[in-house]
């Protein structure tokens, strides 16, 4: 029986915790192996854990990077896999865009005309500098 088969045979709650620890990225596979032994009495190599968890990290890292809570990913991973990670990530981006668009650009509503002109002028001058206009650090 291989180590992967041991991980596959874990109860769902323990396997979910293992995946959650892997997605959090703040523990090494060695630390996860120690946790698995100390908390549950299961001996498994860090390499076996790494092989098992790598597929989850690769698959779900985009959702983690977009800010989806890891617990939500783990609890809904079968549903996410069924829908497709790419589709779910696009839906998450749309929700974030919808939620934050008003807040993100709210400062523009509070600007008067002179501030808008100043912002526009500074952006224009910064984007149209010639390389010789910029000073290089000595």
| Domain ranges, ordered by start, for the chain | 3-124
Q: What is the pLDDT of residue 36?
A: 94
Give the CB-side neighbour count of residue 9, counting CA atoms within 13 A.
Answer: 9
3-state secondary structure (DSSP) of residue 78: helix
71 pLDDT above the threshold of 70? yes
Q: What is the pLDDT of residue 40?
A: 93
Query: Mean per-residue pLDDT for 32-59?
Result: 90
pLDDT tens sequence across 90-127: 888 888 777 766 665 666 666 677 766 666 666 555 55
pLDDT-derived band at 37 (thresholds 50, 70, 90) equals very high
Q: CA angle, corner 129, sides to 125 and 135, nearest 5? A: 115
Task: Report the sign of the C-alpha dihedral through residues 97, 100, 103, 104, in that order.
Answer: negative
Per the prediction, the chain carries an average pLDDT of 79
Quote the radius of gyration of the chain (alpha carbons, Å). Answer: 24
* Helix, strand, coil abundance in the chain, percent, nearest 5: 75, 0, 25
Q: What is the pLDDT of residue 117?
A: 67
Q: What is the pLDDT of residue 9?
A: 87
Cα dihedral 88, 56, 63, 20 in deg (nearest 10): 120
């Amino acid at each position: 029986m291989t180590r992967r088969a041991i991980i596959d045979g874990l109860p769902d709650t323990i396997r979910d915790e293992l995946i959650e620890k892997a997605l959090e990225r703040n523990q090494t596979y060695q630390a996860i192996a120690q946790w698995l032994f100390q908390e549950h009495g299961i001996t498994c190599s860090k390499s076996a854990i790494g092989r098992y968890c790598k597929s989850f990290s690769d698959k779900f890292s985009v959702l983690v990077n977009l800010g989806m809570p890891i617990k939500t990913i783990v609890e809904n991973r079968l549903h996410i896999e069924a829908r497709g990670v790419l589709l779910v990530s696009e839906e998450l981006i749309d929700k974030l865009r919808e939620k934050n668009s008003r807040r993100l650009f709210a400062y523009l509503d509070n600007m008067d005309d002179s501030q808008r002109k100043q912002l526009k002028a500074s952006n224009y001058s910064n984007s149209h500098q010639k390389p010789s206009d910029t000073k290089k650090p000595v």
